[in-house]
Amino acid sequence: MSWYEMAEEREEALIEDLSGLLRIDSVYDPDTSGPGQPMGQGVAEALQYMLDLCAAEGFRVRNLDGYVGYAEFGPESAEKYVAVLSHLDVVPASGKWTTPPFEPSVRGGKIFARGAEDDKGPAMAAFYGLKIVKDMGLPLKHRIRLIFGTDEERTGKCMQKYNELEPAPICGFTPDADFPIVRAEKGQINTRLLFKPIEESDSSGYEYRLRLFTAGEVANSVPEGARAEVAGDAGSLSAMQKAYEDYCASEGLKGSFEIDADGQTASLSLTGKTAHGMEPQLGINAGLKLIHFLKEFSFPSSAEHYLHTVDALMYGDIHGRAFGIAMEDQITGPLTVNTGLLQYDPEGESYFHINLRYPVCGNQADILESIGVRASACGLEIEPPSLKHPHCVPDDHPMIEALQRVYEAETGQPAELLSTGGGTYAAYIANGVAFGPVFPGMANSAHQRNEHIDIDALIRSTAIYARAMHELANLNL
């Protein structure tokens, strides 16, 4: 019996177990954070769900204080182990979904739910892949360890904790990107650029006042929605409304402009298109689009400074040219910048967040220096950034060669080596790559409304992961 046939036999059970996992809202929740559940109750439930499945299968399991858990199979006496790293936390389910995001729905051969593709579906495929390896009873030289993280979408604290407490694997992969093999990842810089308070001497000479501006829910997604509250007299607001309707029509955008009963305040909203922060070119940043409109109007100096600065630094520029940091290489492509969180609050903080991904050729210190120079010239302060260095595994590493053999044998297609702007768990281990679940030619729905995964592709991935784990667990490393 082939690897694929063994995966196919388990399809019904896999979908049932996956549906149970997808029903758990595992978005980071600081309100329910506590001992044993540092990322909140929902994330803790998802971790326990997977560990319970693994324990029932007879795998050796361990929960590391709720930060991360793992399940292991193979000879306990083996000194070395191979890792398969997935994550159980998900990004918020914003926007209008066809079916509720945490009520999995099967339609047209796909299963729809938040986390179906990123990364609960692949995590379940890896679990069933290890079940197949166990059921076959084939000899293994090394242990195989499934690692389940809980904070991949934010800070990666889960894998930081893991690396503090556990020895490193000899190699491994994460099912959290594309097939065939993603052997290189861009570096990342995440930080907020803060606006210093400006004391307004007199705002009576301006037509409008910006009471609030906000866009985005998470830093690593293109904001789908943006909202602004603008004050002015009835005539001014009426003129802005007409201009806004014309702007939305000319840009092909959906927006609303509602004037309050007092006739002195308007609420503007704009809908763009979300996308993963590593591919801002695939989205429409509602925040930047709304700022680009508002900057044409007369506001007090604090609001004008915010609108004009953000527009000059970010609008229509996803490659960092305004910061003087545009670059690219042949391995990982061009530098990209996404601003996923924007806020103007005259009574509180005003800022925009940058989620920057730079190629292997980039120097982190030089990029930060260039950003600092431009930010200082604009009167901005930079928060201490969260940093991730680029990651690249040599083409001739035995793991790469083994995964290429597996992929080509199971698909009949060449196993080309890829790179990504995304940050995956592969970068947390020396010899780590991303391996699926998105096959060539298939759309990636991660972080988007109506996220889904193709069931046939999920079963194919399960077979590939089973065979890959068996191959890697018998390498001479």
Active site residues: 89, 152
Contact 322, 374 (CB under 8 A): yes
Contact 121, 438 (CB under 8 A): no
Preceding amide of 384 cis, omega within 30: no
**Helices 455-472 and 398-411, packing angle to 10 deg:** 140
**Separation CA 86–CA 121 (nearest Å):** 10
Helix (H, G, I), strand (E, B) or coil at 185: strand
Helix (H, G, I), strand (E, B) or coil at 189: strand
Cβ atoms within 10 Å of 139's Cβ, excluding its own: 9
Tell me the CB-side half-sphere exposure of residue 50, using CA atoms within 13 A: 38
**Separation CA 458–CA 116 (nearest Å):** 10
Contact 341, 387 (CB under 8 A): no
**Separation CA 342–CA 367 (nearest Å):** 22
**Separation CA 25–CA 27 (nearest Å):** 6
Structure tokens at 240: 């802005």
- Amino acid of residue 227: R
**Separation CA 14–CA 127 (nearest Å):** 9
Planar angle of CA 172, 275, 146, nearest 5 degrees: 20
Tell me the CB-side half-sphere exposure of residue 314, using CA atoms within 13 A: 32
Contact 139, 470 (CB under 8 A): no
Structure tokens at 376: 């200082």
**Separation CA 114–CA 104 (nearest Å):** 8
Cβ atoms within 10 Å of 4's Cβ, excluding its own: 17
Structure tokens at 243: 């201009």
**Separation CA 86–CA 402 (nearest Å):** 20
Helix (H, G, I), strand (E, B) or coil at 111: strand
Contact 14, 459 (CB under 8 A): yes
**Separation CA 81–CA 477 (nearest Å):** 10
| Strand pairing report for 417-420 and 181-185 | parallel
Token look-up 């604009």 returns 378
